[in-house]
Amino acid sequence: MLDFPRWKVGSIIGLLVALCLLAVPSFLPESTTSKWGWIPHSRVNLGLDLAGGSYLLLEADTADLAATRIEAMRDSVAGTMRNGTPRIEIGDISTRGGQLTFLLRDPSQVDAARERLLAITGGGAGMSGQREWDINVVDTSRFVLKPTEAGLTQAIDTAMNDATEVVRRRIDELGTKEPTIVRQGATRIVVQVPGLKNPQALKDLLGKTAKLEFKLVDETANPADLVKGIAPIGSQVLPYPGNPQGVPFIAVKRSVIISGDQLADARQEFEPQTNAPQVAITFNAVGGRRFAKVTTENTGKPFAIILDNSVISAPNINEPILGGRASISGNFTVESANALAITLRSGKLPVALKTIAESTVSPDLGKDSIRAGVLASIVAALLVIVFMFVTYGRFGLYANLAVVINILVIVAVMAMLNATLTLPGIAGFVLTIGTAVDANVLINERIREERRRGRSVVQSVELGYKEASRTIFEANVTHAITGVIMLLLGSGPVKGFAVVLLIGICTSVFTAVTFTRMMVALWLRKNRPTTINI
């Protein structure tokens, strides 16, 4: 019991002093700690309920996803039939009625066409093994492709997983701390961003699909037909609000010459001649070569820059654009250009998301919560300290010191882990104080029992710590298992509570057992008492 070598004492005290110092920045204003330079000043992040911020509930537009799948299948079918060997001639492809239909020029190629369709319409969807598309032939040469329910369900699931990651990347670009982005059910995503007071800006950022495409303009289109939504075969009509010719529509070729998937970077910058904000984009190697080839072959022709199926601008290709760089100009402000650059860098959303609920949590409410939580913690700590000192004397004093250090260590560990403190986290904090004292109550009661049995002071203390430690470890292991399950399966407030609980379990065991045992050992070794007041 008394065998506590100096290196061990020094290590424990040094570790606890360092951790207590690391907790200090969390109690100081950020304006103060930000001036510390190289000195570590990590702080505990406050959650949405404490710091205030924005909350959005996003829902996927499944109808839009279904339409996008059909449009994508149209391009695949056209390319497969056109580029295969032998070439299979087909008529215009229709996407009306939620299905895709086309007519073979040569009915003798039905079997060959079916084989090619089987290759591009995917295998079994999910666990059911059902195909993603039903393929039928009517009137000997007309193919009808209809998406199955199982295929759509799988497509939605995949799109939602990807959309959650895209949303996370966009919010990370804002530089906010500890946002909560979790999928809710099959088609919803919950977004909580502490500290962000403008839900409209967040909604605008997340509301863009950021589907960027470059297409050639169809100059044969009749302006009168454009107003009616009629485009030449192989082209489509898209809105063009900034059309200098006055018609808010434009016809573009359906085939995409390059898409945003081949972007490597996007940044806001200023146009050198007019100093107007614009977005500079850089293509990856494949996209750069493709862009150079297309602009070389189509010099003198206009091409449209399309974002989310709306034309931003349609400049002429005056000369081949080499080097894989281009710029998107329009009626941008610095903020809107920067927001567009963020959405392009983070990638396009695989499914359109619409906001179905939004709210802003006032920081005043968070301050009230913090004040109430701090008050509860102080009252709980004071009552525990008084109880322990009155009940166990010197041993209670050591336990109280361990509780105070435990609180500081929890704050330090949370700051180092960049963890977020939420209102449930404060509840976990208060609970940790109670469980930390429980450990010392167990130890002290065991020491009392040993003294009643007539053992010496040293023997009683040694057996008290030895026997109680086993119970303390077992009890905290069960708590830890519960905390880990909450951390893995929970979300939002439940996860915040679990984080504080798990950190508190580790720190309270160390301070309540190891630290107090060291303090008791040092006192016994120095004073050699024949009796103790416990």
Answer whether residue 532 is part of any domain: no
Answer whether residue 334 is part of any domain: yes
Q: Which own/partner contact pairs does 403-408 have at CB distance under 8 Å and 24+ positions apart?
A: 403/433, 403/436, 403/437, 403/511, 405/16, 405/20, 405/511, 405/515, 406/432, 406/433, 406/436, 406/504, 406/507, 406/508, 406/511, 406/512, 407/377, 407/381, 407/433, 408/19, 408/20, 408/23
Answer whether residue 187 is part of any domain: no
Answer whether residue 153 is part of any domain: no
Contact (Cβ atoms closer than 8 angstroms) between residue 100 and residue 144: yes
- Shared domain check, 507 and 401: yes
- Shared domain check, 135 and 41: no
Per-residue HEC secondary structure of 445-476 comes to HHHHHHHHCCCCHHHHHHHHHHHHHHHHHHHH
Where b means 16+ CB within 10 Å and e means fewer, 251-286 reads bbbbebbbbbebbeebbbeeeeeeeebbbbbebeee
Q: In a 3-state reduction of DSSP, which class is residue 283?
A: strand
Query: What does residue 120 show for φ and ψ, rounded to 5 degrees?
Result: -105, -5
Mean pLDDT score of the chain: 83
- Shared domain check, 132 and 271: no
- Residue-wise pLDDT for 142-196, tens only, equals 999 998 888 888 889 988 988 898 888 888 877 666 677 888 888 999 888 877 7
Check which CATH number belongs to the domain holding 73 and give it: 3.30.70
Query: DSSP secondary-structure letter at 217?
Result: B
- Shared domain check, 521 and 375: yes
Higher pLDDT, 534 or 279: 279
Place of tokens 């804002």: 174
Angle between helices 457-489 and 423-452 (to 10 degrees): 160
- Shared domain check, 471 and 420: yes
Helix spans in 229-333 (H): 285-297
Q: Which amino acid is at 142?
A: R
Given this model, what pLDDT does residue 127 score? 56
Bond before 86 cis per omega within 30 degrees:
yes
Given this model, what pLDDT does residue 144 score? 92
Query: Is it the case that residue 81 has pLDDT exceeding 80?
Result: yes
Answer whether residue 391 is part of any domain: yes
Range of the domain at 276: 208-346
Nearest-angstrom CA–CA distance, 7 and 9: 5
- Between strands 45-46 and 420-421, the pairing is parallel
- Shared domain check, 389 and 244: no
Contact (Cβ atoms closer than 8 angstroms) between residue 333 and residue 277: yes
- Shared domain check, 371 and 498: yes
Range with the poorest average pLDDT among 116-125, 259-268, 389-398: 116-125
Confidence of residue 101 (pLDDT cuts 50, 70, 90): very high
Query: Is it the case that residue 4 has pLDDT exceeding 80?
Result: no
Cα–Cα separations (whole angstroms), residue 116 to 68, 88, 164, 425, 492: 21, 10, 33, 57, 47
Range 502-521 average pLDDT? 89
Check which CATH number belongs to the domain holding 315 and give it: 3.30.1360.200
- Residue-wise pLDDT for 290-324, tens only, equals 888 888 888 888 888 888 888 888 888 878 877 78
Answer whether residue 268 is part of any domain: yes
- Shared domain check, 71 and 128: yes
Per-residue HEC secondary structure of 48-73 comes to HHHHCEEEEEEEECHHHHHHHHHHHH
Interacting residues of 11 by C-beta distance below 8 A, sequence separation 6+: none
Query: Is it the case that residue 201 has pLDDT exceeding 80?
Result: no
Host H or E run for residue 513: none
User: 7: which 2 tokens?
Assistant: 């290196």
User: 351: which 2 tokens?
Assistant: 């499914």
Nearest-angstrom CA–CA distance, 126 and 129: 6
- Shared domain check, 336 and 213: yes
Where b means 16+ CB within 10 Å and e means fewer, 398-436 reads bbbebbebbbbbbbbbbbeeebbbbbbbbbbbbbbbebb
**Dihedral over alpha carbons 113, 119, 122, 127 (to 10 degrees):** 110
Of 292, 319, 346, the domain-final residue: 346
Of 311, 346, 381, the domain-final residue: 346
| Whole-number CA gyration radius for the chain | 33
- Shared domain check, 426 and 492: yes
Query: Is it the case that residue 128 has pLDDT exceeding 70?
Result: no
Answer whether residue 159 is part of any domain: no
The greatest distance separating any two alpha carbons of the chain, rounded to the nearest whole angstrom, comes to 108
- Residue-wise pLDDT for 252-289, tens only, equals 988 888 888 788 888 888 887 888 888 888 888 888 88
SS3 breakdown of the chain: % helix, strand, coil, rounded to 5?
Answer: 55, 20, 25
Of 101, 133, 148, the domain-final residue: 148
- Shared domain check, 374 and 329: no
Q: Which of 19, 98, 110 is nearest to 62 (CA)?
A: 98
Cα–Cα separations (whole angstroms), residue 346 to 215, 265, 382, 459, 474: 22, 9, 50, 65, 46
Q: Please count the structural domains in the chain.
A: 3
Q: Which own/partner contact pairs does 232-237 have at CB distance under 8 Å and 24+ positions apart?
A: 233/92
Nearest-angstrom CA–CA distance, 360 and 191: 12
Contact (Cβ atoms closer than 8 angstroms) between residue 215 and residue 298: no
Q: In a 3-state reduction of DSSP, which class is residue 124?
A: strand
- Shared domain check, 284 and 325: yes
- Residue-wise pLDDT for 25-35, tens only, equals 888 877 788 77
Answer whether residue 135 is part of any domain: yes
Return the number of other C-beta atoms located less than 10 Å from residue 249's C-beta.
20
Confidence of residue 328 (pLDDT cuts 50, 70, 90): confident
Range 54-75 average pLDDT? 87
